[in-house]
Amino acid sequence: MSEDAGSPKATGGEAAGAGQPGRTSLSELALLFLRLGATAFGGPAAHIAMMRDEVVRRRQWLSDQGFLDLVSATNLIPGPNSTEMAIHVGWARRRWSGLLVAGVSFILPAMLLTGALGWAYARFGKLPQMSWLLAGVKPVILAVVLQALWNFLPTAARTWPLRALGLVAMAASALGVHELLILLCAGVVVTAARVGRTRSRAGLRQLIPLLPAGAGTLATSAVTLPGLFWVFFKIGSVLFGSGYVLLAFLRADLVQRLHWLSEAQLIDAIAAGQVTPGPVFTTATFVGYLLAGPGGALVATAGIFLPAFIFVALSGPLVPRLRASPVAGAFLDGVNVASLALMAAVTAQLGRAAIVGVPTAALAAVSAVLLLRFKVSSTWLVLGGAAAGLGLHALGLGQ
């Protein structure tokens, strides 16, 4: 077989693809991630697709290989993947100052919007109806994610064995296998193939595991700002997976153990995180506002996002070294193709939710043409989708 997962060709020649620090101003980083944070609907896969459009295709801050390596790194540590990608990009461009500016800028719009929903909910007892917004935005996001997947394919699935591995990873995801297990197994398979081919088993020592530290539990049931911070810091330190996994963690801590929220309040909190752009982890802002007002919103938000900054600060400098190592690079190749497979599985779910009739199908098709043929910015398309959703709602055609 001339081309396989263990081939030296599959190592990827780019050590990091992470650009050079100091060539991007902090104001440019802030403006980009504020805009993305205000328009990035659709969950982590969609957020990452929009980031790729901006930092790889439009600005060329990263190569596709470098971007994929960072996606894989975020998948192997706890926390919100898209926020961690923003932090990684900030680190790649301006190191410590960029890390803080990019991460905070991406979080801030969602935090403010979710906090406003928390205020409205505390005052009026219900969330504003925004189904018209999602009816127009979801088809656009579907097109954005499909474009990103198409552009990632030549990099992540460049050999037939890697393509086969990606299909196996998709099948495993469809069967309900945990995302982290899929990623780790894919990395091990490619590493084993390459190590077996080169007969350099000592190279396995070059793999550096990124394992989160465990966190304890909170003993008190009284709502205090330190207690609120610790609950969300613990969740941010150990949570892998989607917003639905976040729901399980919040339910276990806030509803069942501490009795700070009712089941209905928790569902409304998750809905607030889903209906606003940016990371769904800003659900913490909503919960914090309900429990302790504006101070609680700030404390809960800081608690759940702080681990992401810590983990990226620790793991970010290692990614170029991993790519430079033949064996660790093999592990990243396996995780890259599995990450792409997981994005494809999420896209299939998004497609079922986004395409609910002829108008939404037409909106998705038009968005795809504008992206692929005319290279329109995904941000403008999302704003156009929101306007289209309002139009569909006015005509009685929306969800």
Q: How far is CA 361 from the centre of its chain?
A: 25
Assess if residue 169 is contained within a domain: yes
CA-CA distance, 320 to 196, in Å (whole number)?
23
Question: Checking phi first, is residue 233 left (phi over 0); if not, alpha (psi -120 to 50) or beta?
Answer: alpha
Assess if residue 217 is contained within a domain: no
Q: Are the CB atoms for 333 and 207 separated by under 8 Å?
A: no
The answer to whether residues 84 and 174 belong to one domain is yes
Token readout for 167 is 């299909």
The answer to whether residues 277 and 349 belong to one domain is no
- The tally of domains found in the chain comes to 2
Crossing angle (nearest 10°) for helices 26-39 and 378-394: 30
Assess if residue 220 is contained within a domain: no
Assess if residue 338 is contained within a domain: yes
The answer to whether residues 296 and 371 belong to one domain is no
Q: Are the CB atoms for 41 and 110 separated by under 8 Å?
A: no
Q: Which amino acid is at 97?
A: S
CB within 8 A of 35, min separation 6: which ones? 379
The answer to whether residues 347 and 270 belong to one domain is no
Assess if residue 143 is contained within a domain: yes
The answer to whether residues 106 and 159 belong to one domain is yes
Token readout for 65 is 């290989």
The answer to whether residues 353 and 252 belong to one domain is no
Assess if residue 230 is contained within a domain: yes
CB atoms within 10 A of CB 43: 20
Last residue of a domain, one of 245, 275, 306: 306
- Nearest Cα residue to 336 out of 181, 183, 193: 183
Q: How far is CA 262 from the centre of its chain?
A: 28
- pTM for the predicted model, two decimal places: 0.71
The answer to whether residues 299 and 317 belong to one domain is no
The answer to whether residues 185 and 266 belong to one domain is no
Helical spans, DSSP H, in 254-399: 263-275, 283-315, 318-324, 326-354, 358-372, 378-394
Q: How far is CA 91 from the centre of its chain?
A: 17
Report pLDDT for 106: 97
The answer to whether residues 63 and 90 belong to one domain is yes
Assess if residue 321 is contained within a domain: yes
Report pLDDT for 62: 92
Q: Are the CB atoms for 15 and 251 separated by under 8 Å?
A: no
Q: Which amino acid is at 190?
A: V
Last residue of a domain, one of 275, 306, 337: 306
The answer to whether residues 63 and 165 belong to one domain is yes
Beta strands in 41-193, from DSSP E residues, in sequence order: none
Assess if residue 173 is contained within a domain: yes
Cα–Cα distances in Å, from 21 out to 143, 274, 321? 32, 34, 17
Q: Which amino acid is at 322?
A: L
Last residue of a domain, one of 277, 306, 335: 306
Token readout for 99 is 């890390």
Q: Show pLDDT as tens, one digit a residue, over the chain (399 residues).
A: 334 444 433 333 333 444 445 478 999 999 999 999 998 887 788 899 899 999 998 899 999 999 999 988 888 888 888 999 999 999 999 999 999 999 999 999 999 999 999 998 888 877 776 667 667 877 887 887 787 788 778 888 889 999 999 999 989 888 888 777 887 898 899 888 887 765 544 444 444 444 343 344 444 468 899 999 999 999 888 776 555 567 767 888 898 889 999 888 887 787 687 778 888 899 899 999 999 999 999 999 999 999 999 999 998 888 888 777 888 778 878 877 887 888 787 778 768 877 888 888 998 899 888 888 887 877 788 788 888 888 877 877 655
The answer to whether residues 25 and 99 belong to one domain is yes
Q: How many residues does the chain have?
A: 399
φ and ψ of 214, to 5 deg? -75, 160
Question: Is 226 exposed, middle or buried, given 0-12, 13-18 or 19+ CB atoms closer than 10 A?
Answer: exposed
- Nearest Cα residue to 285 out of 276, 90, 238: 276
CA angle 138, 139, 144 (to 5 degrees): 95
The answer to whether residues 346 and 200 belong to one domain is yes
Beta strands in 210-279, from DSSP E residues, in sequence order: none
Range of the domain at 44: 12-210+313-394
